[in-house]
Amino acid sequence: MLVDPTSDPAVAAPRWVQADNRGTIDDGDVGRPAFGIDVGSDPAVGRADVSALTMRATLLSGGSYVEAEIGKVRAMDSRPGRDGDDAPRSPREVFLRLVNGVCEGPYEDLAGLYAEQTHVTHPFHPHNPPPLRSRSELHEHFTAPPPVARTLNRKPVDITIHETADPEVIVAEFAYQGQVGETGEPFTVPCVFVMRIRDGLIVESRDYIDPIASARAWGRLDSLLTTLRPSADDDR
């Protein structure tokens, strides 16, 4: 199990990496605080795919290519992965494929980013659902109909990926941002994912999603508040 990111030595010295939703990467200041801790320049972070940390990329037309100081690299959605001839995808790439897929689909492919046996929790969910422990459970989760007949046109924004001393572990801060298709109402749902990704597959993830902002986006805020409000029986 992953432990709290504020106390786990594996995530005590992350480097600061900025990425947009199509894979543009910018190396930030080592030592910038994350989750209330001081982050340093632990040499162990060098094991966590630091080659990307030297890249300063600028997104060009339509997200098809990025231009970097080290040359041209393909955008995240066109790089080879486990199904190509190259090595398994990096944790950063797996995360970006996941959050873009949540917004754009195809939803039936998302479970393929997870290991056959995995452990995915949603600690902020008001109903405290059980962990998702298998690829088949993740497939049901991603392909289930939405809770209400509402269309959320969204994209992941403000992505910051903290790479850690453990090359399998990343901490990703971002938000789902967009508009409700039926009403045009804007929304932003902040999130933090703490993920362990091994051989290009997610083996564990704690997905912290703002429950209030999510309920508001789905038009279910009143229902959420009713669920959380103590009943008369609870007062007895």
The pLDDT tens digits along the chain (236 residues) read 444 444 444 444 444 444 444 443 344 433 333 333 333 334 343 333 333 333 333 233 333 322 232 222 233 333 334 445 455 799 999 999 999 999 999 999 999 999 999 999 999 998 889 999 999 999 999 999 988 888 999 999 999 999 999 999 999 999 999 999 999 999 999 999 999 999 999 999 999 999 999 999 999 888 888 888 876 555 55
Residues 210/124, Cβ–Cβ less than 8 Å: yes
Distance CA 91, CA 78 (A): 16
Buried b (16+ CB within 10 A) or exposed e, 11-37: bbbbbbbebbbbbbbbbeeeeeebbee
State residue 54's pLDDT score.
Answer: 30
Distance CA 131, CA 114 (A): 14
Distance CA 192, CA 210 (A): 9
Residues contacting 27, CB < 8 A, separation 6+: 15, 16, 17, 18, 53, 54, 55, 56
State residue 232's pLDDT score.
Answer: 57
Distance CA 166, CA 75 (A): 25
For residue 92, which of 103, 108, 81 has the smallest C-alpha distance? 81
State residue 88's pLDDT score.
Answer: 73
186, amino acid identity = P
Residues 127/139, Cβ–Cβ less than 8 Å: no
Per residue in 143-196, pLDDT tens? 999 888 889 999 999 999 999 999 999 999 999 999 999 999 999 999 999 999
pTM: 0.64
Query: 21: which 2 tokens?
Result: 């939703």
State residue 6's pLDDT score.
Answer: 42
- Given the candidates 1.10.10.10, 3.30.1360.70, 3.10.450.50, 3.40.50.300, the CATH classification of the domain at 10-235 is 3.10.450.50
